[in-house]
């Protein structure tokens, strides 16, 4: 967000800026979602809904699991949330008490760490490595639990900042370890739908009691609508409902109406994804050519997590200089990995193809200089 602020200030001053720092689609919400919202506005009154979400949307999300994964999910286990962020707050409050310890991966999404800390829960960052596919493993979780007991584990596949996707075997192993140790297992699946060689697996395929969190922000191009969902075990549905009533009353109805309609926009959304795929292919070819050959596997999402250690040991200063000298806005790795992030940066390829190509054209001379 600091990089975005600086980039916006440069643009306001008339500079050309290429935004590769923020993880959001450049495409608008699908036409069906916009039309449904417009029709609802014409009708007039937009009021509260049930705290767990509109029944029709919960039913439609349940059907999505049958269609996409072949898994039967009862609608009464579906919770509509204010983006995935609302889902994390609700799940953390329902599952953990202050002082509990929750394993997360490094590199990983920094809001996990920050939200857990804000709720008095201790994040336990476990470094991932190439040898384990840059993913959390059951072995690493068991070792951390043996050192000092954990209460839960949070994994993300495909991952932010890297795009790394866990194998079926790795996801099953992690779920099995959590069951054996009596730990809550939370699976962040917000980038499902955005994979390039094989579809992502849901944790529900291996652990029916996993808590799955997803959102309409990424694949469905609806970041600003702030609407997501959870699938929770039956035992958590009522506690989460009480928390949601008190904290949020309900997710905005207009966003829920649009979200339900977005499920019918697959052709439009797949066309957007095809653009990401072209950007990804170009970057994977061109980054090594200009001097950035080292990055984590880009299996999904719309990020490349690049090792810039040959140029700097301070990714924040590197990104500031990159922005000032070339107008390319990138995200330093420090937030994603406090231990090793000083040598990494994240590039988002969710924007236009020409933006990505021009970024490569500007990066080459910068790195060579």
Spacing of C-alpha 314 from chain mean position: 25
pLDDT at 352 over 80: yes
Per-residue model confidence (pLDDT) at position 6: 86
pLDDT at 1 over 90: no
Cα–Cα distance, 54 to 253 (Å, whole number):
8
Per-residue model confidence (pLDDT) at position 3: 81
The arrangement of secondary structure in 2-29+267-368, i.e. its CATH architecture, is Alpha-Beta Complex (3.90)
Percent of the chain with pLDDT over 70: 100
Percent of the chain with pLDDT over 90: 93
> 27-51, pLDDT tens digit by residue?
999 999 999 999 999 998 999 999 9
Per-residue model confidence (pLDDT) at position 255: 98
**Strand 78-81 versus strand 228-231 pairing type:** antiparallel
Per-residue model confidence (pLDDT) at position 207: 94
**Strand 18-19 versus strand 101-106 pairing type:** unpaired
| CATH 3.90.1200.10 given to domain 46-264 | no
Cα–Cα distance, 197 to 80 (Å, whole number):
29
Per-residue model confidence (pLDDT) at position 8: 87
> 51-77, pLDDT tens digit by residue?
999 999 999 999 999 999 999 999 999
Domain boundaries, the chain: 2-29+267-368, 46-264
> 311-331, pLDDT tens digit by residue?
999 999 999 999 999 999 999
| Mean pLDDT to the nearest integer, 166-181 | 96
pLDDT band at 88 (very low <50, low <70, confident <90, very high): very high
pLDDT at 259 over 90: yes
Choose the weakest-confidence range: 3-17, 179-193, 293-307: 3-17
pLDDT band at 7 (very low <50, low <70, confident <90, very high): confident
pLDDT at 251 over 80: yes
Per-residue model confidence (pLDDT) at position 22: 83
pLDDT band at 168 (very low <50, low <70, confident <90, very high): very high
b/e sequence 216-226, b meaning 16+ C-beta within 10 Å: bbbbbbbbebb
Q: Which residues contact 357 (CB under 8 A, 6 or more apart)?
A: 282
Cα–Cα distance, 296 to 305 (Å, whole number):
6
DSSP assigned state of 250: S
Q: Which residues contact 119 (CB under 8 A, 6 or more apart)?
A: 89, 92, 93, 96, 98
Percent of the chain as helix, strand, coil, to the nearest 5: 50, 15, 35
Per-residue model confidence (pLDDT) at position 44: 86
Per-residue model confidence (pLDDT) at position 10: 87
């Amino acid at each position: 967000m600091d990089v975005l602020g600086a980039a916006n200030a440069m643009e306001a001053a008339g500079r050309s800026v290429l935004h590769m720092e923020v993880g959001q689609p450049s495409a608008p919400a699908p036409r069906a979602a916009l039309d449904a919202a417009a029709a609802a506005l014409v009708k007039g009154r937009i009021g509260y809904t049930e705290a767990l979400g509109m029944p029709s949307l919960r039913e439609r999300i349940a059907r999505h699991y049958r269609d996409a994964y072949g898994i039967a999910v009862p609608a009464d286990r579906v919770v509509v949330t204010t983006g995935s962020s609302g889902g994390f707050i609700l799940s953390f409050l329902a599952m953990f008490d202050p002082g509990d310890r929750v394993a997360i991966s490094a590199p990983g999404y920094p809001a996990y760490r920050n939200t857990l800390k804000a709720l008095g829960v201790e994040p336990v960052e476990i470094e991932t490595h190439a040898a384990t596919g840059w993913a959390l493993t059951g072995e690493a979780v068991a070792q951390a639990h043996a050192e000092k007991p954990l209460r839960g584990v949070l994994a993300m596949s495909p991952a932010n900042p890297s795009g790394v996707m866990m194998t079926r075997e790795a996801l099953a192993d992690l779920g099995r370890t959590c069951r054996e140790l009596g730990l809550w297992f939370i699976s962040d699946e917000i980038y499902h739908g955005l994979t390039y060689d094989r579809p992502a697996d849901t944790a529900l395929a291996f652990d029916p009691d996993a808590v799955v969190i997803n959102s309409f922000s990424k694949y469905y191009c609806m970041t600003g609508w702030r609407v997501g969902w959870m699938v929770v075990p039956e035992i958590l549905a009522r506690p989460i409902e009480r928390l949601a009533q008190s904290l949020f009353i309900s997710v905005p109805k207009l966003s829920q109406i649009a979200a339900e309609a977005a499920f019918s926009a697959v052709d439009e959304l797949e066309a957007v994804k095809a653009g990401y795929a072209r950007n990804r292919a170009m970057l994977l070819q061109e980054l090594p050519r200009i001097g950035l050959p080292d990055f984590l596997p880009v299996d999904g999402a719309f990020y490349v997590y690049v090792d810039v250690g040959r140029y700097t040991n301070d990714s924040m200063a590197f990104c500031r200089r990159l922005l000032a000298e070339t107008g390319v806005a990138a995200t330093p790795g420090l937030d994603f990995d406090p231990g090793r992030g000083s040598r990494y940066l994240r590039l988002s390829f969710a924007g236009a193809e020409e933006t990505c190509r021009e970024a490569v054209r500007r990066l080459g001379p910068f790195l060579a200089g």
